[in-house]
Structure 1
Amino acid sequence: MRKQIALIHPIIAHYREEFFQKLNIQISSDVYVFEDMGKAKEASFFLADAEAIHIKTIEKSGFTFFSPFPLLSSKYNVIVLMWNFSHLTNWILLMTKFIHRKKIILWGHGISVKRYLLEEKHPDWKLKAQLCLADGAWTYMPKESEQWKAIFTHKKIAFLNNTISGVADILKYDSRSSKEKSRIKHKIAQNRILLFCARFENPNRRIDLLLKTIEDTSSDIYGFIIIGDGKLKPDFSQYNNVYDYGAVYDENLKRELFSAADIYFQPGWVGLSIVEAMAYSLPIFTFKRSSTTLQCVEYSYIIHQKNGLLLEECANFVAQIDSLSDEDIEVMGNNARSLIAKEATMKQMVDRAVSVIDKLIV
């Protein structure tokens, strides 16, 4: 068994479980979590059935302090911290490296999603200060990795290409051959189906634009599959072309619903959920990142008119989608699936993470 690492994470969600499992196979590792499980479930998170060590934590006024002592065990050579300047323990561990002599990797977006347009030009000084003190970093996506490599040319920095547990199984599944069968089973009558799959907990998902799209499109032609629950969820029962399934954790049902769809549509705050959709051969339709429509870092997976559409808020959405043939949509869906198969498998994500650790432990 190779030298051990310790990772700190809020929870182990179902989509992250395989990453930690595969990482542990390559490098013996312990995952420490600090978030309350009850609160996570209330926020509609589906938690993985995985081993984790709960660490004592105090959260107050937007700041988090977790006990550093378990991470300083002599069995660990590397500590992987969340790249978050509001985690006060991060600063303590970074500034005392000369004492504990652990290698430290920062793992995160590397940018604020809410301040993305500003920070892609002027990186946050607090994140910069943390990376200055750290030994390396894992970013989720290449764009942010390149930004930090340009500043810290000698740091060990790698992008992971964020992906989900079970993506390999999704890629093996022929969703197209099941489309008609799934539509018949779920009594979906429209010809063109858009699917939305996300928790209704964040106003930045722009649910107002989702509702506007439902209202503007013909209910005879367009149908909408909704997967997800949360405190901000609107009442979809008034729409006869909306098929609302709430939170879905049954993989067989989820597979049927994704197979029934033609397009994945999420107006704002697109994140890791688009990886799942792309693996199912669905092109991603969303609105362009702007000061009013925020997007997560996985937004950079979308290549306009190749594997999805980046729409203008002020433009006529209906005209844009009506102009696409079924063949156009199918080609974009195939390109989406190919990108995930080529660039975003779990093996690749783990291998990229391990590459930084290998450079630090010699």
Structure 2
Amino acid sequence: MKKIAFVFDRVAHYHQELFRTLESRFAEQAIELHLFSGQTTAGSKGRIGLERQIVAREQKYQFREYQVGSYVFRRHIGVIEEIKLLKPDVVVLLSHVGNLSHWQLMGLKEKLGFKLMAWQCGYEYNPGRLKQALLRRFIPKFDHHFAYHSNARRYALSHGARDDQVTVIHNTINEERIACLPKEEARALLLARHPEIGNRRILLFVGAVLAEKRVETILAAMDELKRKDIVLLLVGNGDHLPVIRAACAERDDVVITGAIVEGVGPYFDAAEMYLLPGTGGLGINEAMAHSLPIVSGYADGSADDLVIDGVSGFRLQEGSASEMAGKITQILDTPGMSESMGARSRELITGRFAFREFIARINNKLVEFA
């Protein structure tokens, strides 16, 4: 029986559908899915891994990150030994140049005869000459790249991958599993939980609250607007949340809920728009599934594919608070714009960028390599 192994630093809640669906698909094709999922340290916030097992052949390992200056180095403890025992046909890795295990697997693939695939986000938080030099040696060593989006494809090509070595998968969530409520029903639910919202129109941020999300840009935009008819709902947790709480201590136009995973749907359904001035990605997909217009910066690069400027939302070109304030005003004050942009968002995420298409792209390429 063929074996395909995924090695992920963290398996988050949004990965569950991916791996369970692939496991089912693979079983129909006489292929075993093996998942190596990293366990983060206790008390981690923001991007954290699930503790529970989500597929039958899943092994947990200790995952460690070390900050050295502006760089992050990673360790996968015990994974190399398990891969040697497993002898898989294909190994899929998150593409992190600072992970020693990745370099070791590149050397091991010739000895064991497996294909090595990159799960390629294509975004560098700390680019530099040294990293660029390492990436030009690192990227070409993968046999194939699953690129999150068109920008990730360009990233892989710019560091030495060939055109035939990259498949754009359009990373997403299963929009078919998302139940939507009528706006007024969703607002009623939220008002019961957060009566301070009142009759104000909701601007929404959902995601890990990290410095690179640039939530301060939303706050600054609201300061410029000085509107009494809007409130920011900030849903999420992360290392940067204490900074945001301190910045909002004297504000009455921001409601901070903390992390919500199950039951977050009504927050999207009650909102006027979804805001993401900094990095991130899948929050955009979820907002689109709930028929929201998007106001986004570069995100992780996915917004270039997902957000059609002026059609399903707005792309921030400068990323400034003034620019964001202008886009918010345009959506709020143009009759029918929120609804029409939201409808286009929904059309895109249930069509070209649908989960079924995402799974088909991954499955077909992996079966080809196995």
Could you tell me whether the CA contact under 8 Å between 2:39 and 2:51 is conserved in 1? no
Change (3 A) 1:64 1:224: closer
Extract unaligned runs of 5+ from structure 2: 27-31
1:8 has 2:7 as partner: yes
User: What are the equivalent positions in structure 2 for 1:167-246 lying under 5 Å apart?
Assistant: 167-170=175-178, 173-176=180-183, 178-179=185-186, 181-182=188-189, 185=192, 186-187=194-195, 188-200=197-209, 202-233=210-241, 234-235=244-245, 236-246=248-258
Please give the secondary structure, in 2, of the residue aligned with 1:264: strand
Offset at residue 130 of structure 1 (A): 2.8
Q: 1:33 aligns with which of 33, 37, 50?
A: 37
> Residue 308 of structure 1: which of 308, 313, 316 is its match?
313
How far is 1:3 from its partner?
A: 1.5
* Aligned residue among 343, 348, 357 for 1:348: 357
Secondary structure of 2:52's aligned partner: coil
SS at match of 1:343: coil
* Displacement of 1:45: 3.2
Residue 178 of structure 1 deviates from its aligned partner by 3.3
Q: TM-score, normalised by structure 1?
A: 0.83
Match in the other structure for 2:103: 91
Q: What secondary structure, in the 3-state scheme, does the structure 1 residue paired with 2:167 have?
A: strand
Q: Over residues 121-146 of structure 1, what are the superposed CA-to-partner deviations in whole Å (9 max), with x where a residue is unaligned?
A: xx944334233222211111123225
CA deviations on 1:272-310 (whole Å, 9 max, x unpaired) are 2111111111111134x4xxxxx3122222221111112
Residues 205 and 140 of structure 1, relative CA distance in 2, 3 Å threshold: same
Aligned length in residues? 343
Q: Which moved more, 1:228-237 or 1:202-211?
A: 228-237
Letter matched to residue 335 of structure 1: R
TM-score by length of 2: 0.82
Q: Which residue in the other structure is 2:18 paired with?
A: 19
Query: Residues of 2 paired with 1:224 and 1:56: CA distance?
Result: 37
- Residue 81 (structure 1) shift: 1.7
Pick closer, same or farther for the CA change 1:111–1:223 going to 2, 3 Å: closer
Counterpart CA distance in 2 for 1:318 and 1:57 is 40
Using the alignment, how far apart are the partners of 1:333 and 1:108 within structure 2?
Answer: 28
Q: Does 1:296 align with 2:300?
A: yes
In the other structure, the counterpart of 1:292 is none
One-letter identity of the residue aligned with 1:33 = S
Q: Contact 1:182 / 1:259 at 8 angstroms: preserved in 2?
A: no
Amino acid at match of 2:23: N
Gaps of at least 5 residues in structure 1 are 290-294
Distance of 1:105 and 1:303 partners within structure 2: 30
- Cα 1:72/1:237, change in 2 over 3 Å: same
The residue type paired with residue 225 of structure 2 is: T
2: CA distance between counterparts of 1:180 and 1:211? Answer: 22
The whole-number CA distance in structure 2 between the counterparts of 1:135 and 1:155 is: 10
Change in 2 beyond 3 A, CA 1:57/1:269: closer
CA separation of 1:92/1:271 partners in 2, compared to 1, >3 Å: closer, same or farther? same
The alignment-based identity, stated in percent, is 21
Deviations 1:134-187, CA, capped at 9 Å, x for gaps: 2211111123225545854464421221112x42122x5354463554465454
Q: Identify the residue that residue 141 of structure 1 maps to in structure 2.
A: 149
Give the distance between the partners of 1:179 and 1:93, measured in 2 at CA: 48
For 1:130 and 1:113, locate their aligned partners in 2 and report how far apart those are by CA, in whole Å. Answer: 17
CA contact (8 A) 2:10 2:49 kept: no
Letter in 1 for 2:85: S
| Partner SS, residue 145 of structure 1 | helix
